[in-house]
Structure 1
Amino acid sequence: MKNWNWLAFGLLVIGFSSCISQKQITYFQSPATDSTGIIEQITNRYIPTIQPNDLLSINVNSLNPEASSFFNPYAAAERMPSFQTVNGQVPVTAVVGYLVDTQGNVQLPLAGKIKVLGLTSAGAQELIQEKLKNFLKEPTVAVRFLNFKVSVLGEVTRPSMFSVPNEQMTLTEALSLAGDITIYGRRDNVMVIRETNGKREFGRINMNQRDLFKSPYYYLHPNDVIYVEPGKARLAYADRFYTILPSIIGALSLIAVIIRR
């Protein structure tokens, strides 16, 4: 009986296995001429700027907390983590904030409309802080993006959409959050889909090569979509499974008959 069990196991292994080389799954490969200890200058770090329809958290403080609270109508809601859900749905209170209008303005109590289009969060902080000096004593302002999210799809362990609390995420960080590319995913042709200025870009990155760090798609932008397509091994896996399924069923049926005897 043990022999028949090993036979069934062997059939499963033969049916599901595919030839995948180490070179296909190794990240950050260097040219043969490279030596260890290489240091590269980081030159393409991405800093997001405020665009129409962005959702901003604007937190105001001053020497008079009671007066400051007038400028923080969303403070209680913003303390709720954006990933918290109720019955599988994100609560409306988890995503409230100051919406940037189509002209690039935010509307603050008393201060009115403030133009923040094209500014970084640090630049917006300085501008709003200066405007609020007319209403508060020594105000301090903190601005951050609430709608910086990226999506990871395809041959990864945990496809999902991820919030970015610190205004910066790299491709490698997003793939790590998604549980990494599966053994069947193509590392040499990862797609990043990006919408910029009314246009949709489709960038390609080879995760096997070290020059991926120089790609304009390595630092992710808000609402980027990462897609990892299946490789030939995944297709072969599916084809072989359905091809040998009758054989596996037959072998298991034969084992069952022998066991009964």
Structure 2
Amino acid sequence: MNLSRLNFRALSCILAIAVFAIFGGTMSCVSPRSIVYFQGDTLSVYNQPVVQSYIPTIQANDLLSIVVGSLNTEANEIFNTANSFTTTSINYSTTSSGARLQPLGYLVNPDGTIEMPLIGKMKVGGMRTIDAADSIRVKLQLFLKEPSVIVRNLNFKVSVLGEVARPAVYVIPDEKITIPEVLSLAGDLTIYGRRDNVMIIREENGSRSYVRLNLTDRKIFDSPYYYLHKNDVIYIEPIKTRINATDRNAQLVPIITSIVAAIGTLGILILNFTK
């Protein structure tokens, strides 16, 4: 009886070793050079001029927050009612509630205009938010004393997909973000993400472009895609090891499950036989 139990334990150990060998074999070593960002020369100090050529402008279907202030508090509310919040089921954050407070805002019409109280229709399409605020402030001087205007784009967002910790759509309140910043928001790439082949999908002026960037190369700072544009999509491709491991594990799981069940049944029969 003791001998049979030892044989059963030995079989169990062999099975555990086999499972580890099969599944452990699917993981291969990852070279440090494939996961280290911004590689280049080894100089301790490296100076490079910062150039941001992209200046976001207001486009059709943008949702604008326009906050008006003046010495007349009651008059301000006429313009600021559109900035009140309402609950919507659209979730642009990483919360698990599935809903958030979404400001109504001023929707830019297809012709680039917005409709404001007292002012009526006015053209803001193609303007920077700071220029639109100046134009609105000039028109409000006819109705308000010493008005101030702040304009923000509420739907400046980018999407992050693939091998990151938190894939999601991220709203950028200051309308300026870089690839490293948005990947930080997404919790960084997983160990399985390809850092040398990051895809950026961009739609502008009626056309769609696809570009692949290498995050391990310091030259990415010179790329025109380093600063992200509104509605950019960032896709992180998995390495081949990840794909192969997933496919192989999916094939082996039912086989290993059957082996475990068979060993368990065999062990029970051995123990019953030796009683």
State the TM-score, normalizing by the size of structure 1: 0.87
- Cα-to-partner distance string for 1:111-152 (whole Å, 9 max, x where unaligned): 112221221111111111111111100000010001111111
- Larger Rg belongs to: 2
Q: 1:38 to 1:259 in 2, by over 3 A?
A: farther
Structure 1 residue aligned with 2:85: 77
Q: Distance in 1 between matches of 2:216 and 2:259?
A: 40
- Cα-to-partner distance string for 1:144-163 (whole Å, 9 max, x where unaligned): 00111111111222211111
Q: Aligned match of 1:127 in 135, 149, 162?
A: 135
Task: Report the 3-state secondary structure (helix = DSSP H, G, I; strand = E; otherwise coil) of the residue aligned with 2:25.
Answer: helix
What's the Cα RMSD here?
A: 2.8
Query: Identity of paired residues, percent?
Result: 46
- Contact 1:157 1:181 (8 Å CA) reproduced: yes
- Contact 1:63 1:139 (8 Å CA) reproduced: yes
Task: Report the 3-state secondary structure (helix = DSSP H, G, I; strand = E; otherwise coil) of the residue aligned with 1:107.
Answer: strand
2:32 counterpart of 1:17: no
2:224 counterpart of 1:223: no
Q: Distance in 2 between matches of 1:245 and 1:26?
A: 33
- Contact 1:28 1:209 (8 Å CA) reproduced: yes
Read off the aligned partner of 1:204 and give its amino acid letter: R
Structure 1 residue aligned with 2:168: 160
1:172 Cα deviation from its structure 2 partner: 1.3
Q: Aligned match of 2:51 in 43, 48, 51?
A: 43
2:259 counterpart of 1:241: no
Map 1:1-261 → 2, pairs under 5 A: 1=9, 3-4=13-14, 7-8=17-18, 10-31=20-41, 34-44=42-52, 46-77=54-85, 83=92, 88-89=98-99, 94-245=102-253, 248-249=256-257, 252-253=260-261, 256=264, 260=268, 261=271
Read off the aligned partner of 2:150 and give its amino acid letter: A
- Contact 1:56 1:100 (8 Å CA) reproduced: yes
1:257 Cα deviation from its structure 2 partner: 5.5
- Contact 1:15 1:244 (8 Å CA) reproduced: no
Structure 1, gaps ≥5 residues long: none
- Contact 2:67 2:150 (8 Å CA) reproduced: yes
Task: Give the stretch that moved more between structures: 167-176 or 239-248.
Answer: 239-248
Q: Distance in 2 between matches of 1:16 and 1:103?
A: 56
Structure 2, gaps ≥5 residues long: 1-8
Aligned residues: 257
